Amino acid sequence: MHLYVFGNGNLSFPAFLELYGEPLDRLLERELRVLVGDFRGVDTLVMEYLKCATANVRVYHVGERPRYLPDAFRTMVSRWELVGGFDSDGARDAAAIAACSHFLAHDFNSDAKRKSGTLRNIERCLELGKTRILRDAQ
């Protein structure tokens, strides 16, 4: 399973734990590679959450180096795979979506006037037949 984890940039840590913690904990018990971007919000929270939990993380990043990466000292971060060189967040997201089989994402920033990048990525994953992981689902 290749799980792309993404979401809004303004998510709080308590909300992250509520929406993403249980599914990640449950899925880490399986053979899993986590795909994540390098932007603020969910991306950085996922990296911090996983830095001591698994070496099976692939960080997709814009430019030559990730904009964020947790400390590698006494963590598994030094074994993470970095996939970079993308010229935009959209290109980075497209590559991660193409590589994933499953996704875990929540959007709370969209409304009738504005569709967030997170919602656009969710819609793209669904269009491509990627399996959505939901909180409290088996």
CATH number of the domain encompassing residue 126 = 3.40.50.450
Question: Is residue 55 one of the residues assigned to a domain?
Answer: yes
Write the DSSP string, 13-73. HHHHIIIIIHHHHHHTTSS-EEEE-SSTTHHHHHHHHHTTT-S-EEEEEESSS-S-----T
| 103 within some domain | yes
Give percent above pLDDT 90 in the chain.
Answer: 95
Task: State the average pLDDT over residues 25-48.
Answer: 95
Give pLDDT, residue 137.
54
Specify if 21 maps to a domain.
yes
Tell me what pLDDT residue 28 has.
94
Residue 107 covered by a domain: yes
Alpha-carbon span 20 to 105, nearest angstrom: 8
137 in any annotated domain: no
pTM for the whole structure: 0.95
- The predicted-structure confidence for 76-132, as pLDDT tens digits, reads as follows 999 999 999 999 999 999 999 999 999 999 999 999 999 999 999 999 999 999 999
Looking at per-residue pLDDT, the higher value among 138 and 81 belongs to 81
Task: Report the mean per-residue pLDDT for the chain.
Answer: 95
Contacts (Cβ under 8 Å, ≥6 apart) of 38: 59, 60, 61, 62, 66, 67, 68, 69, 92
Classify residue 138: in a domain, yes or no. Answer: no
Q: Which domain holds residue 39?
A: 2-132
* Residue 138 pLDDT > 60: no
pLDDT of residue 135: 76
Query: Considering its fold, how many domains does the chain have in total?
Result: 1
